[in-house]
Amino acid sequence: MTGGQLAGRHAVITGAGAGIGREAAVLFAREGAAVAVADIDRAAAEETAAAIGAEGGQAAALTVDVADAASVEAMIAAAESALGRVDILFNNAGVMLSDDRGPEDTEAAIWDRTIAINLTGVFHGCRFGIPALRRAGGGAILNMASLVAVMGSAVPQLAYTASKGGVLAMTREIAVQYARQNIRANALLPGPIGTPMTAELFDTPEKLERRRVHMPLGRFGEAKEVAAVACFLCSDAASYVTGAGWPVDGGISAAYVTAEDPA
């Protein structure tokens, strides 16, 4: 795997044991990158790394708890040791907890855990990853936000929404601060994507239909579709793109109302 749009790059991807992270890790490797596959679930990280290796790619499985600063610092050190350097950092790991509701009925523990992983976890990744990017001569940061960073939801998920809004704002700040150090930073803003996490939330036909009617494309996205945008943003094809939040939402953020299904 020497060709492709990420040929010669060295990427760290958190939350790469499943969902969007796994699809991104496999795609990045297919596009020529050596990938540090990091996840809190060591077995899941090893499965992703094995899938990459089976296709002839280079991958190292790492364990990380993004909510723990020391764990993230150790992950970056291990990635540099395994790959030689780090020039792509994809802070993808995140949670959406089932007891995350509105301001009156979300327990403080749910708020704290969500912010610790989704927002502080991205901060830890940037805090320890940016020096590694600088040592490599520059590179790309991609942070996982969400469509709810820019749109409200009538279905309460306050901690998740707040965390993702923070990720988007933090990404802009980092992009401006490090632009002249050859480091780009962008955020992904996916809409509803068919991952294990969303399957747990939308677990009945009624819940699925309630979401689908608001989607101009009429369907949930696929993890591989988000991974493809992630690959672009981390490649030289996006060399003049920084400080941006990229919707991958099937047109939801563009819609006032959606068209009816054809008869």
| Catalytic residue numbers, as ranges | 160
Burial class of 178 by CB neighbour count within 10 A (0 to 12, 13 to 18, 19+)? buried
Nearest to 166 by CA among 187, 183, 180: 187
H-state helical runs in 84-142: 108-118, 120-135
Residues 6 or more apart whose CB falls under 8 angstroms from that of 124 comprise 66, 67, 68, 69, 72, 73
3-state secondary structure of 55: coil
